[in-house]
Structures are given as C-alpha cells and as structure tokens.
Structure 1
Amino acid sequence: MSASDSSVVIFVLFGLLAVTLVGAAIYMLYDRAVGVVVRLLPRLHLSRVFATLRQRIGGRVPDDDEQSDDLDDSTAALIAMLDVASVVVDATDGVVQANPDAYALGVVDDDAIVNDTVRQAVRDVREHGGRRSFDLTTATPERFVPTMPDAPGHTRHQRDMQAVSRPNWIKVTVGRLNSRIVVVLLNDVSEEMRFAQTRDSFIVNVSEQLLAPSEHLEHLADSLEAEDLDVDRVRAQAREVRRSSRYMSHMVSDLLLLIKAQEPVTPSEANRLLVGEQLRAVVDGLQDESRRLGVDIVVACDPGLCLNGDAVQIRAAVRKLLDNAMAYSPRGASVSVTAGLSKDGGHVIIRVIDRGPGIAKADQSRVFERFYRGGNQNDRTREGIGLGLAIVKHVALTHHGTVALWSAPGQGSTFSMTLPVAQGR
C-alpha cells in the first residue's frame, strides 16, 4: 500500500472516530437533561403526598387549637401505604410508626430518630410549621448488611466477610400534621444516584479511550505524509495504534458481556455445570499469563459441586477475579481459587484469594461499580478499563447469587461469589 493510500485509510478512521465522539456528546447532553427531570420527580411526588395527607385531615393544615393530638387509624393506614419510607414522630420526638426501610436507611433506631439533621428538621417544623425538604446521605447500619454464608474451614476474617455497604442518598421531606404529629418521608434515590455516577464515569472513560487511538492515528498520519519517511517511526506508531485498537476491542467485549449478564439465568437440566470443571478450564487458560507474571494459581474444589448457569459468564467472572488477583500480586506469590458448599447446603461459594497489597477502605464500597478505578494501580493494572468487577457482580446477580469482598491493606483480598446449588438431578 502506498503512503497516499495509507493516508486515505487513516482519514477514514478519523471520520469514524469523529462520528462516534459526536454521538457520545449528543447522548451526554440528552442524558443530562433527562437526569434533571428524574431528579425533580421525587420532589413533585412527595409534594402530592403531603397534599393528600392535608386533605385527609381537613383540606388544609388547621391552627393548633383546631388540631387533634392523635393520629387516627385511617390516617396511619394511609401513611403506611405510601410507596416511600415514612416515619411518624410524636411531641416527645418518639417514633410511633416507621417503615422498616427507615431503619435500614440509618435514620431510625430503637424507636427514635438518630440522624441529627432529620431530628432538627422535625423540631423546627413542629415549632414553626411549614415543610422542610432536603437531601441526605446516610450509611446502612452493619446489622442490615448481609453476611456471607459460612462454610467449613474458613478463617475468622473470611467468616466475618460482608457484602459491601454503599451510601444511601435520600430525598427527605418533613411536614406537620397537627400540633403533636410530624411525618418524615424518605425517598431512597440511591440507585438513581449510582446510575448517574456510573453514566458520568462511562462518558468520561469512553471519551478518553476514544481520544487515545485518535491521537495515535494522527501521529501515524503525520509520519506517513512526511517527505523524509522514517520507517522505524512509522512502525513504532503503528504498534501504538494496534495497542489502542486491542484496548478498544477489549472494552467493547467487556461491555457486550456486561449487557449479556443482565438477564437472570433460569435453572434447567441443560445448564447444569460442574464447578470444578469450570475452575480448571479458567486456570488452564491462564497458564501462560501465570508464568509471565511469576504468580502461581492454586485450585481447590469440593468434588461434585454443581450449579445452574451460563458457562461463558461463570468462566468470565472467575477469570476476571483471577486476572485481578495476579495483577496485584508480587512475583513469586500465589493466588487461590476455591469452591465449597455453604453450611446450609444451598449455595456454592467460589473464593479468589490473593496476598497482594489489599484495598483501601475508601475504595471497597465502589470497586464493583462500572468504570471505577481505585487509587492503588500498578504497572500491570494502570491501563485497565474498570469493568472487570462490575461484570463479576452482574454475573453473580444474574445467577441469583451475591458477590462480596474482604480486604485489608497489607493483608490481601478475598472476593467471593455465592451461587445457588443446581436444582434437581
């Protein structure tokens, strides 16, 4: 191919990249506009709720001398049927009625409001009337964070492993029903907020990854058009283009796998899998990488373990965990992949254990998010995409299971997938 022909190819590729970037920009602007509307909807919904309650107690909020000090049964029933978490507070700040979600969101405990911001808003509304609306971020109490099923032979740290707890983002509305009774409505918008964060990370990450190959292509085009064509330089830049292309292909493959891992797997005789076979197939495929990194892989699996699943997804999830474990382990170390039966006999627990640097507490709550990159990157992981652990999480969910992490700086990490055992024979 001549230099001129190569230039034509290069500029065609530039055109395709430009179209992709324009499309991403249009999507970003559209998605942000939709996000604004979505964030306004909870406010409008809670305003309608309080309007309904006011109508229920007389069409308006009466003066204090007109109000009853009691919450009648029908009003209490109406509050209980709301599709947001609700808390009813009396004149002594005691909680007389609360949705269970109010406890799980960390606002109520032991029949009292434990969040200072909400408690102050309740007192302010009781004294001055009106309504207060504000955003609140809370942490889920430890007792509401699901623990991993236990299995024989696990260390104390592994038995204490918990699923990652993430912050709760709440739209709070506080209103007075009468001189004594104040109602707190808690609209949990955590999923919407996490989606917005993921969306923004996705846009930034993909845009950056699209810019890298375009820059490499531009440098290659400049070299091809130069009068004093430097073959060595062209070859070096072509290698950069090839590396960027492989990276983009890897990202697209991960995105397709992530999309596939959204539909729950229906157990059947056709998708019964022997866990040991799946683990050995993954480890066999990693032998070259294991030798290159100087990290051994140790496999231990209880015999006869079966689960219902998609073999491609299960292997991909285990491989992602092993890839991570090897990448963060020093040369000469070993990583372990084990599979055993939970004590209740209803779950298969697959664990991948490394002796690497561990994961900081601040990063642990976000490692399963799409495109999230922690702060402890090394030369092996610096160019990662940030989709591996998100794929693991969604594979576990689509197989009706869970995924969890135990890690401590300097003590390594343990990632666990807990999946139901196969049904029937």
Structure 2
Amino acid sequence: MKRLWFVFKSILTVIAVMSIICLFWSAAYFITEAIYTRFAWQPHPLVRQIISSIFGFLLFGMTMSAIGPFLRKRERVFWHHLIDAINRIAKGDFRVNLQVDWGGRHHPFAELVTRINDMAANLQAMEDMRQEFISNVSHEIGSPLTSIRGFARALKNENLSQEQRMHYLDIIETECVRLSKLSENLLRLAMLDSERYPLHPTSYRLDTQLQTLILHCEPQWAEKDVDMCAVMEKVSITADEDLLSQVWLNLIHNAIKFTPKGGTITVQVQRRGEQAIVTISDTGPGIPKHDQPRIFERFYKVDKSRHRAAGGSGLGLAIAKQIVDMHHGTISVQSEPGEGATFTVELPIRGPFS
C-alpha cells in the first residue's frame, strides 16, 4: 500500500511539473508573438523557437524567485526548530519534542522529526538511568563509609572496654567487606556491559555444576537448618561455565538469605526440547507483585532494610540477568507474598555459540 501511494504521488508530481512548464512556455509563446506583431517582425521559425524557450526559462526563473521566499518560509521555520533541537540535545537537554506537521507521516521531514523525537526520548531515558545509578552508588558507598567513620571516631575513646572495642572493629570490618563486594559487583557489571566481553563456552554437565555449588553453600544452609532438595536430570549444555556459576550462586545465596530457619529450598534441572530449565524455589516471605517487574534492575531492593541487614547491594539479580541475556536465555520470577519465590532460568542447550 505504501509503495502504491509513493508511485501515485510521483505520477501526480510529474503531471504538476509538466503542467507548470507548459503554462510558462505557453505564456512565453503568446508574449513573444504579441511582440512580433507589435513591431511587424517575422523572424525565422528556429529563431522564434529559441527566443520563446529562452524567454520561458527567464519567466519561470523570475516567477520562482518572486514566490520562492513565501514557499520556503515554512521550510525555514522547520530547519530553525530542527537546528535548535539538535543544539539542545548537544548541550545535554534531551527534553525535546518537535511538533511539525508536514501533511503526512510518510513525508521525509515528518519521518526526520519522528526519529529525532525518538532519539531524544531514548537519550533522556538513559540520562535518567545514569542519574539514578549515580545516586544509588553514592548511597551504597556513603552508608558503610558513614558507619566506618563513626565507629573509628568512637574507638578514639580511651575509656572503651575491650569488648566494645572489638565489637566496633567487627562492624568496621563488616562494612569494609560490604564496600569490597560492592566494588567487585560494579566492576563485574561494567565488564559484562562491554560488548567486547569475552565468553568462553565449553560443553559441560549443568546438573553436576549445580550439585557442586549446592555443596559449596552447605555451611550457609545447614546453619539455618534449611532442607535443601535437588531434583536434577542429566543435562549437558554449551555455555560459559564460570559466568553461569555466578548466576546460580546469586540465586542460591538469595534463597538461603530469605528462607527462614527450618524452611525448604528446591533446586530443579530439566531439559525441555532444546532448552535447559533451572528453577530455584524457596519458602521465604515472597515478593510483592508490584516489585516483581523491577527486581532485576540495578540497586532495586524489595525491602531496603532487610537487604541492608543481610549485606546486599541490589546488584546480584542484575548481574544474573546480564549473564543470562548474554547466553540468549531468560530469567523470570513467580511469587506470592508469604508463599516464597521461584526463579526460573531458561538457556539454549547449545547456546549462541554454535
């Protein structure tokens, strides 16, 4: 349909141009004939044709020069708004919304306006994310630094008992570890965001990897008397084993963190067609519905006080999602408040490498 409209419009344009040319050349012919009659001059037909053609060109040019400024006024206004919008974008003001009507959304100028508005909207969204990211990083760094500074100042008190002194030192050490983890996670995210981040795919047993990681985490879930259930099929996968281990550790640690004492964690691995499906379920407090779409955002915390007490920074799930995306997989969550949460990761068996 769009192509037919383009052909129809082109035909109308050609007809209009030919009509204008005929009009001006006809006018030139009648004017020159009137001049020949007035002065009783009868030039050769070739000379008549040359004179009429030259006079037609002059007449056309003078007419276009006279009405051109009026026809181009709208175009000048358009370019003025366009250049102003580009200058604002170049200076960092992305709240640009050009409103120029060119009589149809398929007009080149209308399409240009649409593209610039879309670009400005995308840049504004990225700027908002950057500002939020800087704010979150500043907050996450500022909180432990404030604690370290406060307890370091308290240690200057010579009247402190040895027990109090050791308690303050333990808090300082904990906050330093928290800062170190935050730094490592930020560096890892920066590396994963790089398009040149190298993937090292190998073929390995996914069920064996998860069994090994569950055993490594045994001190944590055994300390809380958590019942760890593993239901695993033999599934081989081609992927970056080291990167995926970070995904499983983040999900398992979160399950352990939020599962109450005596609760249950279930890790399941199965193959469905050409997909490997990993589900990690817990019997924790669950995640509210309105929070679920945002839990994979960087620094987003469902319960800020609970995360702070547990030492989280809100980056673990963002890292997990980034790694899963790099493997062309998906990660999702299903949860009801008070009924625990189930995280599901789907990965292609052969990955994007074959």
Q: TM-score range by the shorter chain?
A: 0.5 to 0.7
Residue type at the aligned position of 1:209: I
Between the two proteins, the alignment pairs up a number of residues equal to 265
Give the CA deviation at 1:324.
1.4
Equivalent position of 1:207 in the other structure = 139
Report the RMSD for the aligned CA atoms in angstroms. 3.6
Equivalent position of 2:31 in the other structure = none
The change in CA–CA distance for 1:318 and 1:210 in structure 2 (over 3 A counts) is same
Match of 1:335 among 252, 262, 265: 265
Bigger strand fraction: 1
Identity of aligned residues (%): 22
Residues 271-293 of structure 1: CA deviation (Å, up to 9, x unaligned):
22321122112111110001112
After TM superposition, list the pairs within 5 Å mapping 1:229-378 onto structure 2: 230-263=161-194, 271-303=202-234, 305-342=235-272, 345-375=273-303, 378=306
After TM superposition, list the pairs within 5 Å mapping 1:394-405 onto structure 2: 394-405=322-333
Which deviates more, 192-201 or 369-378? Answer: 192-201
Q: Is the 8 A contact 2:147 2:175 kept in 1?
A: no
Higher relative contact order structure (alpha carbons within 8 Å, sequence separation ≥ 6): 1
Structure 2 residue runs without a partner (length 5+): 1-87
Residues 114-156 of structure 1: CA deviation (Å, up to 9, x unaligned):
xxxxxxxxxxxxxxxxxxxxxxxxxxxxxxxxxxxxxxxxxxx
Equivalent position of 2:77 in the other structure = none
Cα distance between partner residues in 2 of 1:240 and 1:35 = 47
Residues 323-356 of structure 1: CA deviation (Å, up to 9, x unaligned):
11222222212111112223xx222121111222
Bigger helix fraction: 2
Q: Is the 8 A contact 1:220 1:234 kept in 2?
A: no
**Are 2:180 and 1:223 aligned?**
no
After TM superposition, list the pairs within 5 Å mapping 1:62-211 onto structure 2: 76=106, 78=108, 189=121, 192-193=124-125, 196-197=128-129, 199-211=131-143
Q: Is the 8 A contact 2:286 2:338 kept in 1?
A: yes
The change in CA–CA distance for 1:81 and 1:349 in structure 2 (over 3 A counts) is farther
**Are 2:317 and 1:385 aligned?**
no
Q: Is the 8 A contact 1:348 1:418 kept in 2?
A: yes
Q: Is the 8 A contact 1:404 1:416 kept in 2?
A: yes
Structure 1 residue runs without a partner (length 5+): 1-32, 58-70, 86-170, 172-185
Residues 9-62 of structure 1: CA deviation (Å, up to 9, x unaligned):
xxxxxxxxxxxxxxxxxxxxxxxx99982523x42xx45xx3xx62xx5xxxxx
SS at match of 1:365: helix
Q: Is the 8 A contact 1:329 1:357 kept in 2?
A: yes
Give the CA deviation at 1:420.
1.2
Give the CA deviation at 1:319.
1.2
Cα distance between partner residues in 2 of 1:393 and 1:191 = 23
Equivalent position of 1:139 in the other structure = none
Residue type at the aligned position of 1:339: V
Match of 2:92 among 37, 40, 43: 37
After TM superposition, list the pairs within 5 Å mapping 1:45-56 onto structure 2: 46-47=98-99, 50=100, 54=102
Cα distance between partner residues in 2 of 1:376 and 1:207 = 12
SS at match of 1:361: coil
Q: Is the 8 A contact 2:144 2:176 kept in 1?
A: no
The change in CA–CA distance for 1:222 and 1:412 in structure 2 (over 3 A counts) is closer
Equivalent position of 2:342 in the other structure = 414
Give the CA deviation at 1:363.
0.7
Give the CA deviation at 1:417.
1.4
SS at match of 1:371: coil
SS at match of 2:167: helix
Cα distance between partner residues in 1 of 2:124 and 2:91 = 11
The change in CA–CA distance for 1:358 and 1:214 in structure 2 (over 3 A counts) is closer
Q: How does the TM-score come out when normalised to structure 2?
A: 0.63
Residue type at the aligned position of 1:323: H
SS at match of 2:294: coil
The change in CA–CA distance for 1:83 and 1:336 in structure 2 (over 3 A counts) is farther
SS at match of 2:342: strand
Give the CA deviation at 1:389.
0.9
The change in CA–CA distance for 1:328 and 1:376 in structure 2 (over 3 A counts) is farther
Q: Is the 8 A contact 2:151 2:168 kept in 1?
A: yes
Cα distance between partner residues in 1 of 2:254 and 2:208 = 21
